[in-house]
Structure 1
Amino acid sequence: MRNWIIKHDESIQRLLEILPGFVSWNIILFPYWGILVIPNVVAYFILSYNIYWFYQSAQIAISATISHFKIQASMAYDWLADLKVFPDWKKVHQVIIIPTYKEPLHTLERTLESIANQTMPKDQMTIALAMEAKEPEEDRLIKVKALESKYGNMFGNFLICVHTLLPGEAAGKASNERFAALEVKEKLIKKGKFPLEYTIVTSCDADHIYHKNHFSYLAYLFLDDPHRYERFWQPAVLFYNNIWKIPAITRITNTIGSIIHIALLGRKDRLINMSNYSLSFKLLDDVGYWDADKIPEDWGIFFKSYYKTQGKVEVEPLYLPIYADAAQGESLIKTLRNEYEQKRRWAWGASDDPWIIKNYFLTPGVPFWDKTLRVLYALQSHFLWPVHFFIITIGLQLPILLNPRFAKTALGYTVPKLSSFVLSVALVFLLIMLLLDRIYKPKRPKEFPLWRAILSPLEYFLMPVAGFFFSALPGLDAHTRLMLGKYIEYKVTEKV
């Protein structure tokens, strides 16, 4: 098998790129042709999918609730005091890589301010501002001058890394972070500024705001774990920085996404690092850093580490929130477009699947069941991304119009009723998500009318529309482009 895959690598790669779109399109279209040929199978399929959705909703609600209590405890706890119990805690050094391309100065200042307010001693922290050479030099230098003036002497090191895109590299976070990490190693670690074995590296988006305990908590988790060189640490990323400034239809998707991120902390079997995460610099160095030719970098670096350590790598929850910007533009249309493009870029994570699947067979020594479950979860997450809307929201309503005779049968009449009942009961879990949303969402600004805030729960009636335009459609777009070999280019989400 191994030799055959290596011999036919290009053909297999192309076939596996077709797979996500092939699967998602076939599942979506199945009810429409199946209702004419095997209507009973279609009915049971849709009912089963609704039950599966109910189960997933229950899991999210329960896990999010448990994670919520752990987050609240972690926010109040004195992690620095516990950290100081370790005799070697002073050796720990935090490297925060902040990839940035055309983000406005105030966005970067907000992120750096949250790092400056950490309980972790700042002399044990290095900022690596990872900039791109293709950004206009004048704009870049204005930001560098302002940030160095304000924060340059606040941390142990403040490194400006300017990445020039090389042939074979993909524009995006991965190539930028890789360059910055190598700069840190060359200019600081190799010169003895801090030891590689005690260095934690954090991938931080330019719009992220940390809780003040974040890096003390992270350092504690690092020292407390005997397998620290085989671990990632993942906080809950909440898209709440500008939640009151975006339209209702995108506020829904970002709210639900945020609560799901809280829930995932309680599911170690499904937790894979994303957006903002940390790992030991030693692990990053051992596995060869991020791949500069890829757009998706978070799941990519996880599976790269997972396979290179023969399945020993795990992601540990860090029970604290990180506040991030939701996609926004200067106008309503630009906001909707930015939201769509961001979700399409996330769905492009399916482009990692061919590499993940091939290495499932090519990498020896990884425990069979562990790698099987991890790969199946990755494929399920990617393949079903565009499917949920069509099966859950539309269900049998449209397909049954193609076969009105089946609608008059007992099964054709009963299944839509049962599906509706299952989804109605699942609304209980939505209430839990609404409660958590109220807890973590920033306070309503004065310019946001009180009456709109009171009526905000009614925004959830827009869920079907939001689900189509900002989940199903961008997911199908990404899958179809990958299937047809029309690869997307990385686009930084606009910051306002």
Structure 2
Amino acid sequence: MPSSVTSSPPESIADNGVNAAKLEAANRYVRWNLLFLLITFSFLLFPIWMPFVPYLNQVTNVVIIITIGAFQLIWLVATICAIRRTLALNRRSKLKVTKAQDVESAGAAANDCSNIRHIVAMTLYKEPMSVLQTTLDSLVQQKDAASRISIIIGMECRTPDKEAKRDEIYAKYESKFLRLIVTFHPAGIPGEISGKCSNMNYACRQGLEILRQDADYNYEKYEHIFTNCDCDAVFDAEYMLELETEYSKLDSADRHSSIWQSIIVYKRDSMPFFVDITGVLRTFFFMGVLIPWNINPMSHYSLSVKLLEEGAFTHPAYQMEDIIALIRYTILTRREIRIRPLNLISINGPTSGANYLDEIREWALQVRRWTIGAGEVFHYFIVKTYRMPSLYLSISWATRFFIYYGLVLCASAIFSVISPFIVRLINATAAPEHGRVLIGDSLFQTICLIFLGSQYVFLLLVSVLVRWCLPVPGGDGGSTSTGTSTGNNYNKGPWGVARGLVHWILMLPTILAYSFVELYSFFELAFRGKDVCKHNAASKNNLVLVKGAGDA
């Protein structure tokens, strides 16, 4: 096996392929995320002023009920999509276990894909080496990893003990992959912000250049699929095989216009209720919204290297390379990019802290980072929207993106829970003399209570789907897809069920807290501008994934 390569980047790669002067010239305060905030905040305020406006105050109850009902309809659609995806995941899991011929057909598919090679890239800053090793161990378990998978690990120049970490990685994994490349992303490149986007952009450009210059690798002979992941990802042992199968089903045009997303579950040995609930909801929204609504991939995802290069890798001046990926590639290639599901489970580590207060801080920082990233992506989209393939696609994606990040995640819980109290209070005190059209105050209160009950029904379905219906590797205390014991009974047995039910009751308060952190973050982005757009990654120092997951 040829030796792995680590080197300083050639000058042609060091500029990361972007015009730093243009990035620096971008306005730091008057940005389109202000419109995002204005619409969201105005929406939240109308239950306060509407009861005082003549004539409008007569239909306040009707408007509030219709709006909350619309949110319930969104939850219904998302739940139906999530149920369909859960059924597909379980069908694949059962077929894999019960039909030996599936193994043979998978092997035949692998032979048909013999001209495909994989490149997996991840970044590392201050995360513990044990977290990275869990990810690499799960990749070692992929079929033909030593002959078909190349790994690129992008470290920051400021990473503590980076040379020692690089040497440790080589010592343990150099012989287990086709190529292993470690890059050091220099600090202070004009126009960049610190974080995964700039690090990943640099690592991918340098890594691909190294592979192309490697005569023994014979780069041009193969078709390459790229997988972008976090350093705390645990892949299903058949991830690459399933990816190749789905990739091969498409013609050339669709292959290079697609992003593949597995369903990600967030697990660690112990989690506070708000971290656990947030993870459950994120998995639900993967299945119910992000994939079927074609909004954006998240955490780790795969695409052809051709699309990666046509899309100019990742934007070093933004912080969320996953949220921006689909719209960036759509804009730069001027063709519609589709998110396609992979019917298997991957595991990611959620936030972690040294103590309970630290857990709260890390959770809030993560929510803040996602929110600011979404606001920045909206700004990027508006600035570049003239390059979208069509006006319809532009309006459609912007609507879906705003409904999810502006309304579902930020405004819906606050509006649905608080606006009925505000309207009832104002109707009873400041505007009691105004007549009500169609819905009186008593009926209004009854309908709002019914909606509260239906919301908890949806949340119960979410809990059942994610906690007990998904075929999560090691979820019953057995073996992971990598063949290693997890010893994880988090959602199993009487205690697991009891915990899940308690967390179900706490779901709505957690969503409310999440929404308020989002709203605060949008205001922070509005007042502080580009200065707040930094990738303050969630701490992984205390992260322990499910025991044994990914161990070789």
TM-score by length of 2: 0.81
Say whether residues 1:422 and 2:451 are aligned partners: yes
Say whether residues 1:323 and 2:347 are aligned partners: yes
User: Is the Cα contact below 8 Å between 2:47 and 2:423 reproduced in 1?
Assistant: yes
Say whether residues 1:186 and 2:229 are aligned partners: no
* Other structure's SS at 1:71 match: helix
Q: CA deviation at 1:170?
A: 0.8
- Looking at structure 2, the residues matched to 162 and 350 of structure 1 have their Cα atoms a distance apart, in angstroms, of 29
Cα gap change, 1:104/1:341 in structure 2, threshold over 3 Å: closer, same or farther? Answer: same
**Could you tell me which of 475, 481, 506 is aligned with 1:462?**
506
What is aligned with 1:284? 308
* Other structure's SS at 1:299 match: coil
Q: Deviations over 1:170-190 (max 9, x none)?
A: 111111111111112111124
- Looking at structure 2, the residues matched to 120 and 40 of structure 1 have their Cα atoms a distance apart, in angstroms, of 68
Q: CA deviation at 1:68?
A: 1.2
The number of aligned residues is: 481
> What amino acid is aligned across from residue 262 of structure 2 in structure 1?
P
Q: CA deviation at 1:167?
A: 2.3
User: Is the Cα contact below 8 Å between 1:274 and 1:299 reproduced in 2?
Assistant: yes
What is aligned with 2:256? 229
Say whether residues 1:379 and 2:379 are aligned partners: no
User: Is the Cα contact below 8 Å between 2:192 and 2:317 reproduced in 1?
Assistant: yes
> What amino acid is aligned across from residue 297 of structure 1 in structure 2?
E
Q: Deviations over 1:434-470 (max 9, x none)?
A: 222123463476897976434220222222331232x
Q: Deviations over 1:292-343 (max 9, x none)?
A: 1111212322112112222332111111111111111010011111111101
Query: 1:336-485, aligned counterparts within 5 Å?
Result: 336-348=360-372, 349-360=374-385, 362-363=386-387, 366-384=389-407, 385-405=409-429, 411-436=440-465, 437-440=467-470, 442-443=475-476, 452-456=495-499, 457-469=501-513, 471-485=514-528
Cα gap change, 1:87/1:256 in structure 2, threshold over 3 Å: closer, same or farther? Answer: closer
> What amino acid is aligned across from residue 70 of structure 2 in structure 1?
Y
User: Is the Cα contact below 8 Å between 2:290 and 2:296 reproduced in 1?
Assistant: no
Q: Deviations over 1:151-174 (max 9, x none)?
A: 110010111111112122111111
* Other structure's SS at 1:95 match: strand
Once the two structures are overlaid, the 10-residue window that deviates more, 148-157 or 33-42, is 33-42
User: Is the Cα contact below 8 Å between 1:91 and 1:198 reproduced in 2?
Assistant: yes
- Looking at structure 2, the residues matched to 187 and 56 of structure 1 have their Cα atoms a distance apart, in angstroms, of 47
Query: 1:251-330, aligned counterparts within 5 Å?
Result: 251-264=276-289, 267=292, 269-330=293-354
Q: CA deviation at 1:74?
A: 3.2
Q: CA deviation at 1:86?
A: 7.0
Unmatched 5+ residue regions in structure 2? 1-21, 97-101, 478-486, 543-552
Query: 1:237-248, aligned counterparts within 5 Å?
Result: 237-240=264-267, 242=268, 244-248=269-273
Once the two structures are overlaid, the 10-residue window that deviates more, 90-99 or 309-318, is 309-318
Q: Deviations over 1:55-98 (max 9, x none)?
A: 12222222111111211233454478446347652221111101
Query: 1:60-139, aligned counterparts within 5 Å?
Result: 60-75=78-93, 76-77=95-96, 78=102, 81-82=105-106, 84-85=108-109, 89-136=113-160, 138=161
* Other structure's SS at 1:112 match: helix
Q: Deviations over 1:13-36 (max 9, x none)?
A: 825231122122211222122233
- Looking at structure 1, the residues matched to 104 and 178 of structure 2 have their Cα atoms a distance apart, in angstroms, of 18
User: Is the Cα contact below 8 Å between 1:407 and 1:413 reproduced in 2?
Assistant: no
Cα gap change, 1:308/1:275 in structure 2, threshold over 3 Å: closer, same or farther? Answer: same
Say whether residues 1:208 and 2:253 are aligned partners: no
User: Is the Cα contact below 8 Å between 1:66 and 1:266 reproduced in 2?
Assistant: no
Cα gap change, 1:368/1:270 in structure 2, threshold over 3 Å: closer, same or farther? Answer: same
**Could you tell me which of 49, 52, 55 is aligned with 2:67?**
49
- Looking at structure 1, the residues matched to 304 and 72 of structure 2 have their Cα atoms a distance apart, in angstroms, of 38
Cα gap change, 1:174/1:431 in structure 2, threshold over 3 Å: closer, same or farther? Answer: same
- Looking at structure 2, the residues matched to 13 and 88 of structure 1 have their Cα atoms a distance apart, in angstroms, of 52
Once the two structures are overlaid, the 10-residue window that deviates more, 157-166 or 476-485, is 476-485
Cα gap change, 1:356/1:41 in structure 2, threshold over 3 Å: closer, same or farther? Answer: farther
Q: CA deviation at 1:143?
A: 2.8
> What amino acid is aligned across from residue 354 of structure 1 in structure 2?
H
> What amino acid is aligned across from residue 21 of structure 1 in structure 2?
L
What is aligned with 2:178? 156
Q: CA deviation at 1:12?
A: 11
- Looking at structure 2, the residues matched to 294 and 81 of structure 1 have their Cα atoms a distance apart, in angstroms, of 42
- Looking at structure 1, the residues matched to 30 and 384 of structure 2 have their Cα atoms a distance apart, in angstroms, of 15
Once the two structures are overlaid, the 10-residue window that deviates more, 332-341 or 49-58, is 49-58
- Looking at structure 2, the residues matched to 233 and 472 of structure 1 have their Cα atoms a distance apart, in angstroms, of 28
- Looking at structure 1, the residues matched to 264 and 246 of structure 2 have their Cα atoms a distance apart, in angstroms, of 18
> What amino acid is aligned across from residue 398 of structure 2 in structure 1?
V
User: Is the Cα contact below 8 Å between 1:350 and 1:383 reproduced in 2?
Assistant: no
Percent of pairs identical after alignment? 19
Cα gap change, 1:400/1:324 in structure 2, threshold over 3 Å: closer, same or farther? Answer: same
User: Is the Cα contact below 8 Å between 1:64 and 1:259 reproduced in 2?
Assistant: yes
User: Is the Cα contact below 8 Å between 2:132 and 2:231 reproduced in 1?
Assistant: yes
> What amino acid is aligned across from residue 347 of structure 2 in structure 1?
Y
> What amino acid is aligned across from residue 171 of structure 2 in structure 1?
S
User: Is the Cα contact below 8 Å between 1:83 and 1:219 reproduced in 2?
Assistant: no
Q: CA RMSD in A?
A: 2.6
Unmatched 5+ residue regions in structure 1? 1-5
> What amino acid is aligned across from residue 31 of structure 1 in structure 2?
P
Say whether residues 1:26 and 2:42 are aligned partners: yes
